[in-house]
Structure 1
Amino acid sequence: MSDDESYELLGFDNVLLPVGDLGEAVGFYERAGFAVAFRFDEAGIALLKVGGETPGILLRVEEALGHRTPPWASPRLWLEVPDARSAAHALADAGIQPLDEPFPVATGWTVEVADPWGNVLGLTDYSKRPELGRRA
């Protein structure tokens, strides 16, 4: 490929999250409402479904990774939900405490959680701008 050529981004493949223990990670994400598409313990991976999309969240074991709190500047993966404030209550009922109370954003509300390894996921809705959401 020459310097003046480009490539086309077609969309997301999987998002990979490092975890220290596959069983513990799968349990955490199942409590958070994710379905497991597949789990391959010998390879140290499990794929979580995200809506009806083919790509998902791939949990990948990193042997030396221990529990940690999320660093302030850590990347965040936000996923669309119908109602973020309801999601926050469901997470709390499942024993998963949000990092903070749900907060308003330009399109609606968002709540963020961190897994035991510091990966931060946000659940966000489009209640203020439903025409931009998937359920419009």
Structure 2
Amino acid sequence: MSETPKARAVGFNHVALEVGDIDEALAFYGRLFRFELRGKGENSAFIDLGDQFLALQKGRRQAADEGRHFGLVVTDKEAVRQALVAAGVELLPGRFLDFLDPWGNRIEIVGYDNIQFTKAPHVLRGMGLGHLEKNDAAVAELAAKGMAPE
């Protein structure tokens, strides 16, 4: 019996977060990050991340997330830490920069320079981020997989 062919998962197009109010969510995230809106409606908004996006959907119905989270890649992790503190957002304990948004979504902040995740050079240029580079540890991780930047 032959195995059914399987598609290979290659990345994320978007992450959707449930929030209580779209305008409040945009104001909250706007205090922490610079971003462009891809689109907005009465019950949803889409924050552009270049070739990906973050979808905000009105209607949070579940308890706050404890372990479940996603890692949001940023240009400057320390700038986000400062913005969180300035906004009065409690940082969660642990070795990572995690926080809960007002609707209980847990988000981990990850610096672009320090991880394998890589935007294609043309996408970075289109985002005005062509200057971003990886640190030596991230380059070594990529090289071990045959994916080192040229």
Normalised TM-score (structure 1): 0.69
Q: Using the alignment, how far apart are the partners of 2:24 and 2:61 within structure 1?
A: 12
1:117 is aligned to: 103
Greater share of residues in helix: 2
1:47 matches 2:33: no
Greater share of residues in strand: 1
1:72 is aligned to: 66
1:36 matches 2:30: no
2:137 is aligned to: 129
Out of 39, 56, 61, the position equivalent to 2:58 is: 61
Give aligned pairs, total: 119
1:89 matches 2:82: yes
Q: CA deviation at 1:38?
A: 3.0
Paired letter, 2:66: W
Q: Using the alignment, how far apart are the partners of 1:8 and 1:130 within structure 2?
A: 23
Q: Using the alignment, how far apart are the partners of 2:105 and 2:136 within structure 1?
A: 27
Kept in 1, the 8 Å contact 2:74–2:109? The answer is yes
Paired letter, 2:99: V
Q: State the identity as a percent.
A: 24
Q: CA deviation at 1:123?
A: 0.8
